[in-house]
Amino acid sequence: MQRLVDGARKVQQRTSECAPPDTAILELATDVVEAIDLAAIRITRMKSPLSLAKIRVYLIISAVAVLIWWAYANYLQPKVVTVAATAEDIAVLEERVRRNNILNIEFMLSPGSPDNVVLVEEKAADVAVVQGGVELPVGLTVFGSVHKEHILYFVRGDGLDVTVPRVITYKEGQGSHLLGEIFFRLWGYETVSWIHSWDQIGSDASHVISPDATAIFIVVDPANPVTGNAIKRVSNAGFHLRYPDIGVNATHLPYLDRIDVPPGYYHLTNPSVPGDRVRNLQTYTVDKYMVASRSLTYAQTTTLRRAFELSSGVEALPSTFLHTQGISLTADVDHALAVIVNFVIIIAALFGLEILFYRHYIHELNSLISRISLLQSERDLHDIDDREKQKPNIFALEICSDLLGLISSLAGYYGQENAALMFQGLTGSVHNRANTLKINIQLKILQAGPASRALHTTNRSQ
């Protein structure tokens, strides 16, 4: 840039030393020198780390870094996934993990589905196994069905003809208890006395089944040996399996599927258990879902689906889950594209601001070119036969040509420091106008004959 400044001052000095002085040419040369001096200050500011051009570069680098980080965090970074589940669910899932040879999964033991939901909300666990019927807060996502459990509904004696039934179920506030409350409410019972002792019936042979219990409502895995033992004990205590029919209401609980159970299905080792050997029994299965916060990545959900052999679960979402949204590659890509689009919009906005702030620099150069064009058009050589009279005009044309070269070089410096001006073709328009006008001036000088060429050589040697 300093060479350009020095060249401009030499042209100005040559103009001022011309005798007789050409005021118009001298004024024009002075304006070009001032424009170059001002441009040197502007270009120094453009090189500042906080200039718009530099901020745009920082944003582009940041966008690329964020994209690389997102790809690494979602698809490359190995991460251990913590799964909150009950002991029964962990036993089922561990077998699947071993079968599929998945290493980066850890289990967290919890009492039941409501506790699992809390663990995921508090980010103590990444995912949880939750039974259908347990309400999920907004922000959690269902992305697969783990397995199905059966509703076992027992009635003591011939039927349930009491005003306030005493019902045996699992622990208070857990999935079986919550779903049981839904069923008994649909059956018209405003009050139910719950006895939370089912886990003791199957595991503790000395436990005495409550003699005043009128029914049992439980959601269990029938293949569990503890469940089989509990079924035998309650059957021997006078309880009989019944169909927990809720009629059309089942259509509003999509996590339920009605099934027919053949005689002896729950008692393979003792098919003569009363009430379970004469006819088919109808009951419902209940889905257990894998639930996670939406921060779980697509790669992690893919690992979980493969490790736990999950079905999609989408076609059987419970009504309380309908506000959630499944995790998918499309969603991940959408989020990434949204970030990229936002960066592009910001960069484009900065690009536009640069053009808005800096285009008047180019307008100044175009104004100088227009003034030079008007001035050189007044310095015509065709109607002047006297060689001595041609010399001032030839000198003025040469100065105009030199000034055009300086302006074209200055536009190049602007484009070098601010690519926005170059990409918009603003600096290119300056180059084109200056070069075209220089060619026109050189042709005028050449057409003036030998005298003009001799003067041209003399002036250049000075």
Grade residue 218 by pLDDT with cuts at 50, 70 and 90.
very high
Residue 274 and residue 191 share a domain: yes
Residue 261 and residue 185 share a domain: yes
Tokens of residue 175, six digits:
């999935």
Asked whether residue 315 carries a pLDDT value surpassing 60, the answer given is: no
Total domains, the chain: 2
Inside any domain, residue 75: no
For the stretch 30-68, pLDDT in tens is 888 888 888 888 777 777 777 766 777 787 788 788 778
How far, in Å, CA of 444 to CA of 448, rounded? 6
Residue 101 and residue 36 share a domain: no
Asked if the peptide bond before residue 49 counts as cis, ω within 30 degrees of 0, the response is no
| Mean pLDDT of the chain, nearest integer | 79
Looking at per-residue pLDDT, the higher value among 73 and 208 belongs to 208
SS3 8: helix
Inside any domain, residue 296: yes
Q: Determine the average pLDDT of the residues in 249-265.
A: 86
Residue finishing a domain among 266, 292, 327: 327
For the stretch 117-141, pLDDT in tens is 999 888 888 888 998 888 888 778 7
Looking at per-residue pLDDT, the higher value among 7 and 435 belongs to 435
Please give the span between the terminal C-alpha atoms of the chain, in angstroms, as a whole number: 23
Inside any domain, residue 50: yes
Beta bridge partner(s), residue 297: none
Q: What is the DSSP annotation of 216-259?
A: EEEEE-TTSHHHHHHHHHHHHTTEEEE----GGGGGG-TTEEEE
Could you give the angle at which helices 23-46 and 329-378 cross, rounded to 10 degrees? Answer: 160
Could you give the angle at which helices 23-46 and 2-16 cross, rounded to 10 degrees? Answer: 170
Residue 162 and residue 244 share a domain: yes
- Beta strands 281-293 and 256-261 are antiparallel
Grade residue 308 by pLDDT with cuts at 50, 70 and 90.
confident
φ and ψ of 244, to 5 deg: -80, 65
pLDDT value of position 276: 47
Residue 349 and residue 321 share a domain: no
Inside any domain, residue 122: yes
Residue finishing a domain among 301, 327, 353: 327
Grade residue 326 by pLDDT with cuts at 50, 70 and 90.
very low
Q: Determine the average pLDDT of the residues in 230-250.
A: 90
pLDDT value of position 132: 85
Q: What is the CATH number of the domain that holds 113?
A: 3.40.190.10
Residue 176 and residue 27 share a domain: no
Residue 302 and residue 397 share a domain: no
Report whether 132 contacts 287 (CB < 8 A).
yes
pLDDT value of position 286: 92
Inside any domain, residue 436: yes
Residue 145 and residue 33 share a domain: no
Inside any domain, residue 420: yes
Grade residue 431 by pLDDT with cuts at 50, 70 and 90.
confident
How far, in Å, CA of 72 to CA of 78, rounded? 9
Residue 275 and residue 201 share a domain: yes
Residue finishing a domain among 306, 327, 348: 327
For the stretch 347-384, pLDDT in tens is 777 666 666 667 777 888 888 899 888 888 877 766 66
pLDDT value of position 166: 92
How far, in Å, CA of 181 to CA of 292, rounded? 26
Q: Looking at the whole model, is its pTM more than 0.85? A: no
Q: Is 193 left (phi over 0), alpha (psi -120 to 50) or beta?
A: beta
Residue 218 and residue 195 share a domain: yes
Asked whether residue 5 carries a pLDDT value surpassing 70, the answer given is: yes
Residue 315 and residue 344 share a domain: no
Q: What's the length of the chain?
A: 462
Q: Which residue has the tokens 């200050």?
A: 41
pLDDT value of position 317: 41
Residue 419 and residue 294 share a domain: no
Inside any domain, residue 333: no
Inside any domain, residue 69: no
Buried b (16+ CB within 10 A) or exposed e, 205-228: eeeebeeebbbbbbbbbbeeeebb
Q: Which domain holds residue 153?
A: 83-327
